[in-house]
């Protein structure tokens, strides 16, 4: 959410932001509603002031004059009730529109119509050259007893899966390694809830933009699609101490996404599943563009280093306007090489939001001059499983169907160096 004062003073910039992000939003309609809201608020405040004046005057008079004031108060009371009802209705409309205002992307964000227009900014690692016919992660993992898709679908439905034996152990190894790797960078580890109320989802911008991708419970709560959501809700409605900034969380949770609108994409395998696990970097910093940019580059580099330590070839792209969410100012994707598809696939997304999320969640701090400000927020995937297994298994497959375990993961696999039958 942006400040209404900023929106009024920069309506053309908001219109351009919506156009760049390919989001339909009528800023003029919002400003029109805002004018009505302000007018009704003033009218209501004036009526309340009249009512207070009448209450003061009535104790000083009696007889016909008192009766006149009582009649005036009766009329004022009804007018005030009507005004408050009108204000309640206009506030609902205003709040709905305010939640749809797109954040302004950074000037370095390229134009584009879809993720195919994202711009490569870095490439790392040599792509594997096989002297045998390479197999897909599905065939490799099923042959090695690491994966059971058939029973996964039987139990869980479309996109269901079981990881077992070394498939399960490899996932645990990656999570534990990620906690150690990022923990050395002064992140606070947390296991966070997957079941969340609506407020953190509105606060992070997942609602209304991505509500169709969320699972909703019979109690009106939701299953979060990323650990970012509950982590950002942690300090909701709190004032932080400036000396504690930046605050850096490393959050782990199961995640759930309906993948609405992508029913025919990646039907088989572990690229796009409904239930997965994420370790997420979340940072809260001072309300400074420079601080946001510095932290954004840092958390992106953290994940690049993580991929390099695993030995998985990747590239980093800066996302174009059409591939930004409602609240993102700028986003990088890190994409791992998938040999059998002969392409890079996104494994990490790194974003910053300025105060878009924290204004919605009311997370503030007091500056040195005592002024209360909204903190800035950022997040980036540390690792997501089982998607990371796709590139790992396919890149490290051997001619005999076995899979080499990256050296950094071997201590977490009991010293095992190769997964074989």
Q: Is 301 a catalytic residue?
A: no
Dihedral angle sign, alpha carbons of residues 105, 108, 112, 117: negative
Paired strand residues for 26: none
- From 335, 359, 387, 394, active-site residue: 387
What is the phi-psi region of residue 275: left when phi exceeds 0, alpha when psi lies from -120 to 50, beta otherwise? beta
- From 48, 197, 272, 301, active-site residue: 272
- From 228, 280, 291, 346, active-site residue: 346
Q: Is 387 a catalytic residue?
A: yes
Q: CB within 8 A of 400, min separation 6: which ones?
A: 420
- From 253, 349, 351, 385, active-site residue: 349
Pair 186, 229: CB distance under 8 Å: no
Q: Is 257 a catalytic residue?
A: yes
Report the candidate in 408, 411, 385, 415 with the shortest Cα–Cα distance to residue 141: 385
Paired strand residues for 252: 191, 279
Q: Is 262 a catalytic residue?
A: no
Dihedral angle sign, alpha carbons of residues 61, 64, 69, 70: positive
Q: Using CA atoms, how far apart are residues 27 and 33, in angstroms rounded to an integer?
A: 10
Report the candidate in 236, 232, 194, 191 with the shortest Cα–Cα distance to residue 215: 194
Point out the residues that are catalytic: 257, 272, 346, 349, 387
């Amino acid at each position: 959410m942006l400040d209404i004062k900023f929106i009024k003073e920069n309506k053309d910039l908001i219109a351009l932001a919506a156009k760049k992000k390919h989001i339909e939003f009528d800023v003029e309609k919002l400003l029109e509603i805002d004018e009505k809201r302000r007018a009704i608020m003033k009218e209501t405040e004036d009526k309340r002031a009249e009512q207070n004046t009448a209450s003061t005057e009535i104790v000083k008079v009696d007889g016909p004059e008192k009766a006149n004031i009582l009649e005036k108060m009766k009329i004022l009371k009804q007018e005030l009730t009507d005004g408050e009802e009108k204000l309640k209705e206009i506030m609902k409309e205003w709040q709905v529109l305010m939640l749809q205002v797109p954040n302004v992307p950074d000037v370095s964000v390229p134009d584009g119509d879809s993720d195919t227009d994202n711009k490569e900014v870095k490439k790392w690692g040599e792509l594997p050259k096989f002297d045998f016919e390479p197999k897909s992660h599905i065939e490799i993992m099923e042959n090695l007893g690491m994966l059971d898709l058939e029973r996964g679908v039987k139990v869980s439905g479309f996109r269901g899966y079981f990881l077992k034996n070394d498939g399960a152990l490899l996932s645990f190894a990656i999570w534990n390694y990620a906690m150690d790797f990022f923990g050395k960078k002064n992140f606070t580890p947390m296991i966070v809830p997957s079941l969340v109320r609506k407020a953190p989802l509105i606060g992070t911008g997942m609602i209304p933009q991505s509500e169709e991708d969320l699972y909703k419970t019979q109690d009106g709560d939701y299953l979060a699609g990323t650990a970012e959501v509950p982590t950002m809700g942690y300090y909701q409605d709190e004032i932080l101490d400036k000396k504690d900034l930046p605050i850096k969380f490393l959050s782990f949770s199961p995640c759930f996404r309906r993948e609405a609108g992508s029913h025919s994409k990646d039907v088989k395998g572990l690229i796009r599943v409904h239930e997965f696990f994420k370790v997420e970097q979340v940072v809260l910093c001072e309300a400074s563009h420079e601080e946001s940019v510095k932290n954004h580059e840092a958390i992106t580099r953290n994940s690049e280093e993580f991929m390099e330590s695993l030995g998985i070839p990747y590239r980093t792209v800066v996302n174009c306007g059409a591939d930004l969410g409602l609240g993102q100012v700028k986003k990088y994707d890190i994409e791992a090489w998938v040999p059998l598809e002969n392409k890079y696939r996104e494994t990490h997304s790194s974003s910053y939001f300025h105060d878009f999320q924290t204004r919605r969640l009311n997370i503030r701090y007091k500056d040195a001059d005592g002024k209360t400000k909204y903190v800035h927020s950022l997040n980036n995937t540390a690792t997501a499983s089982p998607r990371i297994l796709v590139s790992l298994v396919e890149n490290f497959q051997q001619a005999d169907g076995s899979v080499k375990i990256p050296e950094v993961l071997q201590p977490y696999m009991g010293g095992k160096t190769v997964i074989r039958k």
